[in-house]
Structure 1
Amino acid sequence: MPAIKKRRVQEENLVATPAKPSEPLDNSDQSPEPEQEDQSQAEKRPKSFSELGVIESLCDACTELGYKAPTPIQEQCIPVALQGRDLIGLAETGSGKTAAFVLPILQNLMENPQSLHSLILAPTRELAQQIAQAVEALGSLISVRCTLLIGGVDMISQSVALGKKPHVVVATPGRLLDHLENTRGFSLRQLKYLVLDEADRLLDLDFGPILDKLLKILPKRTTYLFSATMSSKVESLQRASLSNPVRVSVSDKGQTASTLLQSYLFLPHKYKDIYLIHLLNDRAGQTAIIFTRTVNETQRVSILLRNLGFSAIPIHGQLSQSARLASLNKFRSKSRNLLIATDVAARGLDIPSVDLVINYDLPQDSKTYIHRVGRTARAGRSGHAFSFVTQYDVEVWLRIEEALNKKLDEEKISKEEAMVFAERVSEAQRAAALEMRDFNEKKGSALRKKGGKRGRDNMDEDEG
């Protein structure tokens, strides 16, 4: 972000331009069922954040970040949030929901400055880091202090950061509870805002018991819950943690971006590597995320591609935190143009300008498929998603097509053209097999040292 002259938050005399007044919403009905936002009333879409009631300094930060106009989730959530209501936002990743909850929080912070004002919980380390970066960028003009609490990082340095009394804490649940139990002087008794981002994923990762403990500790506060889906677990969490919320939904179930081209390749299982090399050769120079089902296969395909001269890098839950962040940063900066990933990269991460998504291994359900292919064709850009369908995947693929409610086009590659690469691929496979033997030996040794136990510190690793 360009250097901006900062105006420091002075907690004793910070003054903000008040938000535009809104029509009060009736709070008399205390039923736990959330109200449904009436989208038909919004005939004219706001062209700027100031029209939503966002104050000038935050609008300037949006402009600096290149936010030209509010997205649908932002235009519906921000006015409600500025009225102080609890909020449920249902939207897919890539919809701009981070700014939808960060902007109202920062605006309230300017009007009511205090330390430890807001807590944002996310299921994975990468998503938490991304949210923290958004908080710092949007709050740059008012020097908002934000602390990130995630596993895989030294707790002492995090404790020091907490001692400096940040305004906003972004955390994964396990590491946050560790600090609440062990860091002297750290308390959230004065907390004003709680955000549960990717709530469906938080519960999928078995954070339920930790969330229950946290909700008992936290005081009465304004709560925002954001989720891609409203599952029964999320419904239960909503009833336990929100008071008379407004529900906003801009999620089209089972839909993918209109600018996304989707096709599949029907091929023999034993030739998957060969067809992958043909496809990547055909589209040399383009950026791609290649999704596999397991950590082992992610590592193997990454090694295979590097042996064949491709600029590939892996990301999965068994890499160290520093290695995972390094992979993401190299891919974002385009020093590597191929990211080989488990579903740790399928949702929540904002990686711009991805040309291709390749489902080397098919996901087991349509929801994961939609999240995977949503890594490309973002923010109005075009993109292409290819899925490898072998003789063993036909049933799964038919289920995905049924959920999408359409038949996708088949990408035809002649076997003769693909088999030109057979000899080179075979040599690279043998070399990759030797490297994988070393990788698995190291992994087994590390697991034995840990005793095979998964504690709070690595619950946020999303094994993929």
Structure 2
Amino acid sequence: MPSPEEANTSASPPATFKSFGLIEPLLEALEQLKFSTPTDIQREALPHALEGRDVIGVASTGSGKTAAFALPILQKLWEEPKGLFACILAPTRELAYQISQQFEALGAPIGVRCVVLVGGMDRIQQSIALAKRPHIIVATPGRLNDHLENTKGFSLRGLKFLVMDEADRLLDMDFGPVIDKILKVIPKERTTYLFSATMTTKVAKLQRASLSNPVRVEVSTKYSTVSTLLQYYLFIPLSQKDVHLIYLANSLAQNSMMVFTRTVHDAQRLSMILRTLGFPAVPLHGQLSQSQRLGALSKFKSGGRSILVATDVASRGLDIPSVDVVINFDIPTHSKDYIHRVGRTARAGRSGKSITLVTQYDVELIQRIEEVIGKQMELWPADMDEVALLRERVDEAGRLAATELRDNGINGGHGRKRRREEGGNRDDRDRDDDMVEAGMPASRKKGRKRT
């Protein structure tokens, strides 16, 4: 198979969506959504996609990738409105819902019908929705394959478009085997789009197996953070992480914040401590039901809650426009996870801040991250007298949270026990339920207090 043709990025980019030749209903939808100027990935990908080419798009999170593949699909659907038209594969449930919402918003003038197929939701209701012949399916691979194998009358034989969004993440989550199954039951004569933040060897292999003479567009040659993001660190003893988080929440109270933790236990525990101390916080993690997770996101997006305490389930792909500050309560083990976390703020040209809590066990991790992003973080100025004044109240709130967690059967070892029982060979359909949480080497857990 020929190697992907490199797109010419030196040409003068078109100024407007209209210059791409998009139909009037789509231009109206773009205007209503206040999409006035195409982003870099949209400028590079849309001309080739609208010509009917397979496209590999390499772009960082928050770059406008969804519209880059949704617009050509919707334009072609307008020309050939026939049954099930496109399938979009996404690595997480939340991203699947977000993609579907954008398709529905952009496709509202042409009456597009979307169905979301993800784990944690009722299969029968999904089967009923599939029977109504939607135009677009947005799915996590495990649940899509489940319907292909078990839902009578459902197939992808007439599919015109396949999109693999966040392809590197799909493969990191071991969806490779189930994607291979899906590729075997869809038409070879189709248009395929593959979007990824990085071009790993796994993604390159997937590209060779699934795309035909693709054009490659790349708008982020270096894996890095945006220039409008101010990045800080706070060096503290491990035993004082909770009180320093509350100090930051207090001093940044007028801002919307996302707090990232490594474990479900800490996400739940910290949201309880914050609420006990009067902060409007809501947790988001993989042990919540799907409706609870969507509810948490909705409250945060609408401003009903100004602090979202999350595991890495929320670090990738989700477009939450109003995040002012990202706080890394735990440092992720992988540098790219740090970049995705802090990418929740400073989006679309806006400014933002990230603050990372660094303990005596995290120095190597933070140095590795600084090497990858090519810059050193600045020290966040903290008033130690204010921190000391908060200590007693935070400790009391922590004891209350620990008691409540024990009463509800949630403890720090829950996730480890489940992983031991599952042994790593999980059924494909259940992978939807296991959102990736970055692990930490055992040597770095030394001294961690368990409630």
C-alpha distance in 2, partners of 1:189/1:460? Answer: 24
SS at match of 1:424: helix
The match for 2:83 is 115
The match for 2:385 is 416
TM-score (norm 1): 0.90
* CA displacement at 1:441 relative to structure 2: 5.0
Is residue 298–residue 340 contact of structure 1 (8 Å, CA) maintained in 2?
A: yes
Is residue 224–residue 372 contact of structure 2 (8 Å, CA) maintained in 1?
A: no
C-alpha distance in 1, partners of 2:410/2:395? Answer: 23
* CA displacement at 1:342 relative to structure 2: 0.6
The match for 1:7 is none
* CA displacement at 1:388 relative to structure 2: 0.6
2:2 aligned with 1:37, yes or no?
A: no
Q: Which runs of 5+ in 1 are unaligned?
A: 1-29
Deviations 1:45-104 (A, max 9, x none): 322111122111111110011101100100110110011111100011210000000000
The match for 2:106 is 138
> Kindly, what percent of the aligned residue pairs are identical?
59
Q: Which runs of 5+ in 2 are unaligned?
A: 438-451
SS at match of 1:314: strand
* CA displacement at 1:332 relative to structure 2: 0.6
| Structure 2 letter corresponding to 1:460 | D
C-alpha distance in 1, partners of 2:157/2:290? Answer: 30
The match for 2:449 is none
Is residue 119–residue 193 contact of structure 1 (8 Å, CA) maintained in 2?
A: yes
For residues 206-225 of structure 1, the aligned pairs below 5 Å read 206-220=174-188, 221-225=190-194
Deviations 1:254-310 (A, max 9, x none): 321221111111111111111111111111131100001111111111111111111
TM-score (norm 2): 0.92
* CA displacement at 1:381 relative to structure 2: 1.3
Deviations 1:105-129 (A, max 9, x none): 0111111221111111101100000
The match for 1:306 is 275
Is residue 178–residue 428 contact of structure 2 (8 Å, CA) maintained in 1?
A: no
The match for 2:446 is none
2:26 aligned with 1:58, yes or no?
A: yes
The match for 2:117 is 149
Is residue 77–residue 89 contact of structure 1 (8 Å, CA) maintained in 2?
A: yes
Is residue 173–residue 436 contact of structure 2 (8 Å, CA) maintained in 1?
A: no
RMSD of aligned C-alpha atoms? 1.7
| Structure 1 letter corresponding to 2:430 | N
C-alpha distance in 1, partners of 2:198/2:410? Answer: 39
SS at match of 1:88: strand
2:432 aligned with 1:460, yes or no?
A: yes
2:175 aligned with 1:203, yes or no?
A: no
C-alpha distance in 2, partners of 1:79/1:58? Answer: 15
* CA displacement at 1:364 relative to structure 2: 1.0
SS at match of 2:220: coil
C-alpha distance in 2, partners of 1:122/1:188? Answer: 17
* CA displacement at 1:252 relative to structure 2: 4.1
Deviations 1:368-402 (A, max 9, x none): 11111110011111111101111111111111111
For residues 209-288 of structure 1, the aligned pairs below 5 Å read 209-220=177-188, 221-288=190-257
C-alpha distance in 1, partners of 2:355/2:399? Answer: 26
2:122 aligned with 1:179, yes or no?
A: no
SS at match of 1:139: helix
C-alpha distance in 2, partners of 1:127/1:416? Answer: 42
For residues 324-339 of structure 1, the aligned pairs below 5 Å read 324-339=293-308
* CA displacement at 1:240 relative to structure 2: 0.5
C-alpha distance in 2, partners of 1:434/1:395? Answer: 34
Quick one: structure 1 residues 454 and 319, their matched pair in 2 at CA, closer, same or farther if it must change by over 3 Å? farther
The match for 1:100 is 68
Deviations 1:191-240 (A, max 9, x none): 11000001111111111110011111111211000000000110110010
SS at match of 2:109: helix
The match for 1:164 is 132
C-alpha distance in 2, partners of 1:126/1:455? Answer: 20
C-alpha distance in 1, partners of 2:87/2:414? Answer: 37
| Structure 2 letter corresponding to 1:351 | I
C-alpha distance in 2, partners of 1:185/1:195? Answer: 22
